[in-house]
């Protein structure tokens, strides 16, 4: 039978001395320190506990700790025998030592899929707009989970069955556009990769090649050089707000900057005696240097060298539509997008489609039509591949034909050589008698 006894390291000590325990089983004896200490005067040698003294809570507390240690030691020994069917001395010594002061049991809360997404959004260093898209994805996943699963979405569910079911939900229940669903899938893959890196899951179902982001080319508009001049020359002296928005928008149209970069422009962004714009982009962190278009120079001169201050993206989009309506951009534009799994065609007036992002598309398209080398445009827009860059180019088939018509391949003319008669041909035309 296993027993535990507590003894003092130095029973004759004048001050506190350590309390040791001795474990006995058959021929085995193991002596360990408890980490506790007491003055020998307060120790009961018969009971091998602290004396019971009224109003001394410290001694009562010490005895409680010793009782717990004894219980832990005996429990550890029983578990050792159950697992090994014998006493393995070195292993038992370690297990008893650990049992004296076991590591506190941590009540680990299981990291759920939604908690992991929230943790990622709160800790990742991304732009506010990107974080907003993450939050929108999270909210849609929660609605899907409540409506379709009737329980919380879990890491292990993420796979092709989920992909197909979530796609049906997005198209049929929420009537979302294909590109919106594609954006959600892109974000879900980001969330899952984060969860794997953190050790929250080992599920790699989202790595299936069919678990892909669906995309379609949007019919977004651009504004031609002539349209930009119309905006530039329009009198807005009676509308200071629209005047400021117009000027900042034109800077975007002639530099290709995103809203996140337009909103951080200041006098320090203008370099080389007012001939260039230089800044580190918010999205990629890369430095970009852009020669200033004559319109930008004029706008900066108007504002005493300081770019107009930006307002919120949403308000700027509203004001830009007001601006487009005022300058009578009423051309009918047909748009087709996949919504709810089906193509939906709409006809809108051009002013209704103008947004801050129109500036960036206008810059890329107008530069492309002006025969500026693609690599030079990409240096400014920050596109890493020509494929992604070409998505920004918005030209019609007629514009493409006009551009090609001026190419040397179509314009060069080399006279064809006159056909020469051969001896064979002469013999055939003039047969000998």
Q: What is the pLDDT of residues 219-277, one digit of tens each?
A: 678 999 999 999 999 999 999 999 999 999 999 999 999 998 999 999 999 999 889 99
Helix axes 356-369, 225-233, angle to 10 degrees: 130
CA atoms of 407 and 36, how far apart (whole Å): 92
CA 191/CA 141 separation, integer angstroms: 12
118-124: Cβ within 8 A, 24+ apart: 120/190, 120/191, 120/194, 124/194
Q: Please state, in angstroms and rounded to a whole number, the distance separating the CA atoms of residues 95 and 73.
A: 9
For 412, the token pair is 């060069």
Q: Which domains does the chain have, with CATH numbers?
A: 3-100 (no CATH), 113-207 (1.10.150), 225-407 (1.10.443.10)
pTM for this predicted structure: 0.59
pLDDT at residue number 318 = 95
Task: Return the percentage of the chain with pLDDT > 70, whole number.
Answer: 91
- Please state, in angstroms and rounded to a whole number, the distance separating the CA atoms of residues 98 and 246: 72
- Statement: residue 133 has pLDDT above 90: yes
C-beta neighbour count of 358 within 10 angstroms: 22
Mean pLDDT of 281-310: 91
Element (H, E) at 347: strand 342-349
pLDDT of residue 413: 66
Give the pLDDT of residue 67: 87
- The answer to whether 53 touches 59, Cβ cutoff 8 Å, is yes
Q: Is 188 helix (H, G, I), strand (E, B) or coil?
A: helix
Does residue 245 contact residue 263 with C-beta atoms inside 8 Å?
no
Distance CA 65, CA 34 (A): 10
Region of residue 332 (left: phi > 0; alpha: psi -120 to 50; beta: else): beta
Residue 106 has pLDDT above 60, yes or no: no
Q: Where does the pLDDT of residue 185 fall: very low under 50, low under 70, confident under 90, or very high at 90 and above?
A: very high
Residue pair 192/158 in contact by the 8 Å Cβ criterion? yes
Q: Give the per-residue pLDDT at 383.
A: 82
């Amino acid at each position: 039978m296993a027993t535990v006894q507590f003894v003092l390291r130095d029973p004759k000590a004048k001050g506190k001395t350590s309390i040791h325990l001795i474990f006995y089983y058959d021929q085995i004896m193991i002596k360990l320190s408890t980490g506790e200490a007491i003055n020998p005067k307060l120790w009961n040698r018969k009971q091998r506990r602290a004396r019971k003294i009224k109003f001394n809570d410290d001694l009562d507390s010490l005895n409680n700790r010793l009782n717990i240690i004894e219980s832990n030691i005996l429990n550890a020994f029983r578990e050792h025998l159950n697992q090994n069917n014998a006493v393995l001395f070195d292993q038992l010594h370690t297990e008893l030592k650990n049992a004296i002061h076991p590591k506190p049991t941590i009540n680990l809360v299981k990291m759920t899929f939604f908690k992991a997404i929230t943790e990622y959004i709160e800790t990742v260093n991304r732009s506010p707009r990107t974080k907003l898209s993450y939050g929108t994805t999270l909210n849609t996943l929660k609605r899907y989970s409540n409506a379709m699963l009737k329980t919380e979405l879990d890491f292990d569910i993420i796979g092709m069955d989920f992909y197909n079911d979530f796609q049906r939900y997005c198209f049929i229940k929420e009537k979302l556009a294909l590109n919106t669903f594609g954006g959600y899938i892109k974000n879900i893959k980001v969330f899952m990769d984060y969860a794997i890196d953190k050790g929250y899951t080992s599920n790699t179902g989202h790595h299936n090649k069919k678990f892909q982001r669906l995309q379609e080319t949007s019919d977004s508009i651009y504004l031609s050089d002539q349209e930009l001049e119309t905006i530039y020359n329009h009198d807005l002296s009676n509308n200071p707000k629209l005047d400021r928005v117009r000027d900042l928008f034109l800077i975007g149209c002639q530099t290709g900057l995103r809203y996140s970069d337009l909103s951080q422009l200041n006098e320090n962004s203008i370099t080389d005696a007012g001939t260039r714009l230089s800044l580190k982009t918010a999205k990629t962190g890369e430095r970009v240097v852009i020669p200033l278009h004559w319109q930008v120079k004029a706008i900066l001169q108007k504002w005493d060298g300081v770019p107009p201050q930006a307002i919120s993206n949403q308000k700027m989009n509203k004001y830009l539509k007001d601006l487009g309506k005022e300058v009578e951009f009423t051309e009918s534009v047909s748009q087709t997008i996949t919504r709810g799994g089906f193509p939906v065609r709409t006809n809108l007036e051009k002013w209704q489609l103008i947004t801050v992002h129109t500036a960036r598309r206008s810059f890329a398209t107008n530069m492309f039509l002006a025969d500026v080398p693609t690599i030079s445009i990409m240096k400014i827009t920050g596109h890493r591949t020509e494929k992604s860059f070409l998505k920004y180019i918005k030209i019609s088939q007629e514009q493409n034909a006009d551009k090609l018509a001026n190419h040397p391949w179509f314009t060069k003319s080399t006279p064809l050589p006159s056909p020469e008669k051969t001896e064979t041909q002469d013999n055939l035309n003039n047969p000998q008698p």
